[in-house]
């Protein structure tokens, strides 16, 4: 899997005069191979512009974008796009194509033999949890919004691209289904390790999915780090309030570690927290140690439980649940 | 109703019907060949949309007698003048429906196609035309019925068709009401049949299922 690098990329749309800020201004950003990086920020900050420059649906005004070793403008746009998965909020499924035909679009463009395409469609529909026999022949309008977006994801993955671009893919989907799809994406990503650029303005979604988050504001990346660091050490007031970091941290400080603690594992972590610690203490300890997991130890040094970073973040991403858990 | 003309001259009526269908089919074939690229062009280049449809709309409102009379002066008498007139009339509905159909295609679908690496041509032929087809066929339906009606006037131009029965019947001092009636009914039936046929076609296009 290649990485993606933005080097001093600027995009100024035609109409913008000297007074209008560029939609993306002098951004340098490295997206590590195999990571899911979220572009997070308020409406109009340039997330979609960033994303669409990667598959050349938008051409930068200046700067370079590399995928692996190659600058993307060395590659003909259609070739480039056939090797990058692209998922959008409105799904953009072809309404006159069946689910199977939709998923087969890129393999067909690439001239894959029929058999290979059919096998791949089967495999992908299974991967996104749509039983092929039931769904293959349906038209998009015969699917729920959540199912449509599963097809959208399967379609984007059809030719096994190394890079995927997702623009608010779950933005138009109800909260419960959205959570399902997020979990599904996490599961799939754990299997396939694509390099994914994921745009959202949903903070919970970003915290839940991202390996790293690039927080954007008016065309610039103001902070780029792991969710944990962003929450605990926001660069400035803007990042802090965008993430609701203060609220999350305050709530976390009200919740005892015991409430989310799991049974101690085989090899307890060397990062230790006390049984009466709160979640905020755990967060600090993990950030300080750069660890994924903490052991809860009693006064005698005996491990009585464990807390994983994933669990901590998942709960941090759901302030309502934290609030109830804490009360 | 007096069908005596039909029973007395079945060959003449059938030939006139054949000519009428021929003129209509030829008109529509030529008209489609012009309207599809023109409609596509004005759907793309929006500054052309209003002026082109404006001009076609004006042509559409000129009475057919007047247009045909005018054309006969310049193009000469014969089927060519009729065809020019009929094709010109059909343009408005056809170009309008092609452009409307294309403009109605969900831009997210086109964006997805482009994002997956389809070329402009592939997007046009695999996405835009198929999705615009129901609207285009609806326009074709209207244009067909109108063409069948207006083609009656082509008889003035010596082009024949069912219009010949009508004019002949009216002009003939020994006015054969039967000839007029048979001609009128035949034109009506032809229009209804064409409409039903195209309605069925409209339902059969795949994108209609997707709608
Ligand atoms: N085609 C365009 N022409 C002119 N300006 C544009 C164009 N597309 C976007 N912009 C402007 O560029 C800026 C960034 O837009 P962009 O779509 O990247 O924002 P975004 O972060 O994706 O916002 P949202 O969360 O609302 O989708 C905005 O100010 C927008 O108005
Ligand atoms: Mg956007």
Residues of B in contact with A165 (CB under 8 A): 115
The percentage of chain A sitting over the pLDDT mark of 70, rounded to a whole number, equals 95
Residue A323 pLDDT class (50, 70, 90 cuts) = very low
A4 within 8 A of A195, measured Cβ to Cβ: yes
Do the beta carbons of residue B59 and residue B35 sit within 8 Å?
no
Whether A265 and A128 map to the same domain: the answer is no
Compute CA distances A170 → A49, A153, A162, whole Å. Answer: 18, 11, 21
A327 has a chain B CB within 8 A of its CB? no
Domain limit, last residue, from A225, A246, A267: A246
Which residue in this structure is represented by tokens 């048979």? Answer: B182
Per-residue confidence (pLDDT) for residue A16, from 0 to 100: 53
At residue B126, the pLDDT reads 96
From A24, A43, A49, A201, the mutation candidate for ligand 1 (largest count of ligand atoms within 8 A of CB) is A49
Asked if the model's pLDDT at residue A322 lies above 50, the reply is no
Label residue A327 by pLDDT band (50, 70, 90).
very low
Query: CA A42, CA A243: separation in Å to the nearest integer?
Result: 11
Q: Which of A197, A216, A246 is the last residue of a domain?
A: A246
Residue of A45, A59, A90 with the most ligand 1 atoms within 8 Å of its CB, for mutation: A45
Sign for the CA dihedral angle at B7, B9, B10, B14 comes to negative
Question: Contact A282/A294 with Cβ under 8 angstroms?
Answer: yes
Q: Residue A19's pLDDT band (boundaries 50, 70, 90)? A: low
Ordered by start, the domain boundaries in chain B are 10-210
Of A209, A230, A246, the domain-final residue: A246
Taking a C-beta distance cutoff of 8 angstroms, is the pair B102, B41 a contact?
no
B-chain residues near A141 (CB < 8 A): 210-211
pLDDT (0 to 100) of residue A325: 42
- Assign residue A120 the CATH number of its domain: 3.40.50.300
Looking at the DSSP assignment, which residues form a beta bridge with residue A70?
A67
Cα A54–chain centre separation: 16
Rounded to the nearest 10°, the torsion over CA A118, A123, A128, A132 is: 60
Q: Give the Cα separation of A86 and A22 in Å (integer).
A: 24
ipTM: 0.84
Task: Report which of residues B197 and A325 the model is more confident about.
Answer: B197
Instruction: Identify whether residues A206 and A304 lie together within a single domain.
Output: no
> Residue range A36-42: average pLDDT?
96
Distance CA A222, CA B113 (A): 33
The CATH number of residue A285's host domain is 3.10.580.10
Q: Are residues A218 and A295 in the same domain?
A: no
Distance between CA atoms of residues A198 and B118, nearest Å: 22
Are both A42 and A144 inside the same structural domain? yes
| pLDDT exceeds cutoff 90 at B161 | no
Residues 6+ apart with CB under 8 A from B42: B48, B49, B52, B53, B95, B99
Mean pLDDT of A65-81: 95
A65 is in which domain, residue-wise? 4-246
Domain co-membership, A134 together with A47: yes
- Can you give the pLDDT at residue A284? 85
Quick one: A109 and A205 in the same domain?
yes
- Distance from residue A149's CA to the centre of ligand 2 (Å): 17
A177 Cα distance to chain centroid: 16
pLDDT value at B119 more than 60: yes
B107 to chain A: closest CA residue = A92
Residues A171, A222, single domain; the answer is: yes
Q: Is the pLDDT of residue B210 over 60?
A: no
Residue of B nearest to A55 (CA): B115
- Gap between the Cα atoms of A4 and A196, Å rounded: 9
Do A199 and A167 touch, CB atoms closer than 8 A?
yes
Ligand 1 centroid – CA A47 distance (Å): 8
- For residue A326, the model assigns a pLDDT of 37
Q: Do A227 and A254 lie in a common domain?
A: no
* Residues A148, A263 share a domain: no
Q: In the Cβ-directed half-sphere of B178, how many Cα atoms lie within 13 Å?
A: 11
Is the model's pLDDT at A324 over the cut of 50? no
Ligand 2 centroid vs A43 CA: distance in angstroms? Answer: 7
Residues in a beta bridge with B140? none
Are A168 and A75 part of one and the same domain?
yes
A8 three-class SS: strand
Has residue B155 got a pLDDT over 80?
A: no
Q: Per-residue pLDDT tens for A108-144? A: 999 999 999 999 999 999 999 999 999 999 999 999 9
- The SS3 call for residue A171 is coil
* A10 neighbors A172 (Cβ within 8 angstroms): no
Element (H, E) at A48: helix A47-54
Residue A1 has pLDDT above 70, yes or no: no
**Shared-domain flag, residues A9 and A142:** yes
| pLDDT score, position B170 | 75
Domain count, chain A: 2
Tell me the backbone φ, ψ of residue B74, rounded to 5 degrees: -100, -40
Are A152 and A53 in a shared domain?
A: yes
Report the pLDDT averaged over residues A197-216.
92
Contact A59, A9 (CB under 8 A): no
Q: Report the CATH superfamily, name and number, of domain B10-210.
A: MetI-like (1.10.3720.10)
Residue corresponding to tokens 């199912």: A147
Task: Inform me whether the pLDDT recorded for B144 exceeds 80.
Answer: yes
């Amino acid at each position: 899997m290649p990485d993606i690098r933005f080097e001093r990329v600027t995009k100024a749309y035609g109409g913008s005069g000297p007074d209008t800020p560029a939609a993306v201004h002098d951004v340098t950003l490295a997206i590590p191979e195999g990571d899911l990086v979220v572009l997070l920020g308020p409406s109009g900050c340039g997330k979609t512009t960033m994303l669409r420059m990667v598959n050349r649906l938008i051409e930068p005004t200046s700067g370079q974008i590399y995928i692996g070793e190659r600058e993307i403008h060395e590659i003909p746009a259609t070739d480039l796009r056939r090797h990058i998965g692209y998922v959008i909020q409105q799904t953009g499924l072809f309404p006159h194509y069946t689910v199977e035909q939709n998923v087969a679009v890129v393999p067909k463009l690439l001239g894959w033999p029929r058999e290979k395409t059919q096998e791949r469609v089967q495999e992908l529909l299974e991967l996104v949890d749509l039983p092929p026999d039931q769904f293959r022949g349906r038209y998009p309008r015969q699917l729920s919004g959540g199912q449509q977006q599963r097809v959208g994801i399967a379609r984007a993955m059809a030719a096994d691209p190394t890079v995927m671009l997702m623009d608010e893919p779950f933005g138009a989907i109800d909260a419960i289904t959205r959570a399902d799809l997020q979990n599904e994406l996490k599961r799939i990503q754990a299997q396939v390790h694509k390099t994914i650029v994921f745009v959202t303005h949903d903070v919970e979604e970003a915290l839940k999915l991202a390996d790293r988050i690039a927080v954007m504001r008016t065309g610039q990346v103001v902070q780029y780090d792991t969710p944990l660091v962003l929450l605990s050490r926001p660069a400035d007031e803007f990042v802090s309030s965008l993430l609701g970091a203060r609220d999350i941290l305050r709530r976390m400080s009200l919740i005892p570690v015991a409430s989310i603690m799991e049974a101690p594992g085989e090899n307890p972590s060397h990062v230790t927290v006390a049984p009466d610690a709160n979640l905020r203490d755990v967060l600090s300890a993990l950030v300080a140690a750069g660890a994924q997991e903490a052991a809860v130890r009693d006064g005698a040094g005996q491990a009585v439980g464990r807390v994983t970073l994933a669990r901590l973040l998942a709960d941090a991403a759901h302030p309502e649940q934290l609030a109830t858990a804490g009360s | 109703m007096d069908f005596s003309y039909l029973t007395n001259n079945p060959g003449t009526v059938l030939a006139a019907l054949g000519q009428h269908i021929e003129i209509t089919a030829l008109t529509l074939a030529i008209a489609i060949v012009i309207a599809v690229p023109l409609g596509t062009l004005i759907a793309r280049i929006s500054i052309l949309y209003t002026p082109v449809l404006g001009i076609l709309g004006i042509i559409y409102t000129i009475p057919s007698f007047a247009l045909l009379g005018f054309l006969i002066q310049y193009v000469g008498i014969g089927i060519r003048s009729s065809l020019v007139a009929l094709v010109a009339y059909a343009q408005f509905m056809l170009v309008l429906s092609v452009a409307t159909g294309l403009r109605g295609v969900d831009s997210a679908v086109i964006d997805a196609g482009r994002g997956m690496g389809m070329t402009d041509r592939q997007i046009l032929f695999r996405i835009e035309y198929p999705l615009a087809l129901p609207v285009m066929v609806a326009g074709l339906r209207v244009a067909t019925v109108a063409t069948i009606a207006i083609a009656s006037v082509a008889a003035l131009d010596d082009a024949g068709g069912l219009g010949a029965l009508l004019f002949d019947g009216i002009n003939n001092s020994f006015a054969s009401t039967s000839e007029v009636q048979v001609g009128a009914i035949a034109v009506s039936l032809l229009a209804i049949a064409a409409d039903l046929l195209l309605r069925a076609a409209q339902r059969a296009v795949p994108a209609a299922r997707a709608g």
